[in-house]
Amino acid sequence: MMNKLPDKDIMYKALVEKDSKFEGIFFVGVKTTGIFCRPTCRARKPKRGNVEFYRTTKESLLHGYRPCKICDPMGYDGESPGWLKPVLSIMEKENGVKLKDHDLREMGIDPNRVRRWFKKHHGMTFQAYLRTLRISEAFGRIKHGEKVIDAAYDSGYESLSGFSETFRKTTGFSPKKSSEKNIILINRILSPLGPMLAGATEEGICLLEFIDRRMLETQLKRIKKYFKSDLVPGESKYFPQLNSELREYFEGKRKDFSVPLAIAGTDFQKRVWKVLMDIPYGETRSYMDQAIAIGNPKAVRAVAGANGDNAIGIIIPCHRVIGSDGRLVGYGGGLWRKKFLLDLETN
């Protein structure tokens, strides 16, 4: 069974020896302190009888353990490794860059390793990712008045037909229709609670959802329909700010977000979400409180439904809404995440 943990004695030995080979394989809960750690934690090692082992940070949190401040087990899983950073640096500096396998080898980097990393973290190969970046950038240039042929050659394409074919496959329409079309750029955003999918229009962030949320596919369909746009992997001008503000939030350094939003919803939903954003950091409200705040005390169930349809998690803080009896209820990202977010904001 692939999810089975190693033998407990083996894990305890790895903990004592700070064995890095076991990073990501297990986490250890320390009964005497109530914290959980990575196998490589530098803290003083507990006795064998005072530890419990878990496969994931989620399991550790659900069993009542708090993350260790020394080894930071809630760190950003999937963050770009050091060996890949020279490649990412070139991509950031040179728009429309082409990096072939032989270019990577000259940099001392295995192309297969790069391909596997992008497939795992972006759902596509490295070359496919580079193509989508070039196409999304070309779309913006054409939409704002640049000639198609100029955008094609500046994007590294040697023929207009090749550019047009790739453009159509990526966006669903021809380059000439760019002025009348919109696209939603999507990309992965890392968080201590797991990877999230972010989406942005030209106006701002329209999506921020945990990738494992069951309603994600439905949210994507709603957003596409609302904005009458196709989803294209790429880098939005808003993603760096979103990344920065989310990191500050999880580090306890930010209480409010300033990244622009492009909210997709009905007038009623937007009223409900506005009330959500008015809930102060570190405080909670009930669904009844929300209904009263929008001037319709009888709309409790409708309010709960609108909260469930919120596609911009954390920033529009539906995690701050709890049951009237104080219980944690109704969070699309999972109640364990809701508890973590509320604990983060109150500690």
Tell me the three-class secondary structure of the chain, residue by residue: CCCCCCCHHHHHHHHHHCCHHHCCCCEEEECCCCEEECCCCCCCCCCHHHEEEECCHHHHHHCCCEECCCCCCCCCCCCCCHHHHHHHHHHHHCCCCCCCHHHHHHCCCCHHHHHHHHHHHHCCCHHHHHHHHHHHHHHHHHHCCCCHHHHHHHCCCCCHHHHHHHHHHHHCCCHHHHHHCCEEEEEEECCCCCCEEEEECCCCEEEEEECCCCCHHHHHHHHHHHHCCEEEECCCCCHHHHHHHHHHHHCCCCCCCCCCECCCCCHHHHHHHHHHHCCCCCCCEEHHHHHHHCCCCCCHHHHHHHHHCCCECCCCCHHHEECCCCCCCCCCCCHHHHHHHHHHHHC
For residues 161 and 249, membership in a common domain is answered with no
With respect to residue 234, please indicate whether it lies within any of the assigned structural domains: yes
For residues 238 and 346, membership in a common domain is answered with yes
For residues 229 and 296, membership in a common domain is answered with yes
Domain of 37, CATH number, reads: 3.40.10.10
* pLDDT tens-digit map of 209-249: 998 888 888 999 999 999 988 888 888 899 999 999 999 99
For residues 174 and 213, membership in a common domain is answered with no
Q: Give the pLDDT of residue 96.
A: 66
With respect to residue 299, please indicate whether it lies within any of the assigned structural domains: yes
For residues 239 and 300, membership in a common domain is answered with yes
For residues 153 and 197, membership in a common domain is answered with no
Output the six-digit token pair for 172: 């669903």
For residues 247 and 345, membership in a common domain is answered with yes
With respect to residue 186, please indicate whether it lies within any of the assigned structural domains: no
**Is 37 annotated in the active site?**
no
Q: Give the pLDDT of residue 327.
A: 87
For residues 118 and 226, membership in a common domain is answered with no
Which among 37, 41, 206, 318 is annotated as catalytic? 318
Domain of 344, CATH number, reads: 1.10.10.10
Low-confidence spans in the chain with pLDDT less than 70: 1-3, 77-79, 95-96
Structural domain count of the chain: 3
Among candidates 247, 251, 135, 271, which has minimal Cα distance to 191? 247
Name residue, tokens 């042929």: 149
For residues 29 and 154, membership in a common domain is answered with no
Domain of 99, CATH number, reads: 1.10.10.60
Among candidates 293, 301, 252, 295, which has minimal Cα distance to 276? 293
Q: Which domain holds residue 101?
A: 82-180
* pLDDT tens-digit map of 143-165: 878 888 888 888 778 788 888 88
Q: Give the pLDDT of residue 172.
A: 82
For residues 197 and 313, membership in a common domain is answered with yes
Residues 6+ apart with CB under 8 A from 19: 13, 39, 40
Pick from 67, 90, 108: which residue ends a domain? 67
With respect to residue 75, please indicate whether it lies within any of the assigned structural domains: no
Q: Give the pLDDT of residue 1.
A: 35
Among candidates 84, 78, 108, which has minimal Cα distance to 243? 78
With respect to residue 154, please indicate whether it lies within any of the assigned structural domains: yes
Q: Give the pLDDT of residue 213.
A: 85
For residues 197 and 176, membership in a common domain is answered with no
With respect to residue 90, please indicate whether it lies within any of the assigned structural domains: yes
- Say which amino acid occupies 213: R
Q: What are phi and psi of 21, to 5 degrees?
A: -65, -20
For residues 146 and 51, membership in a common domain is answered with no
With respect to residue 27, please indicate whether it lies within any of the assigned structural domains: yes
With respect to residue 201, please indicate whether it lies within any of the assigned structural domains: yes
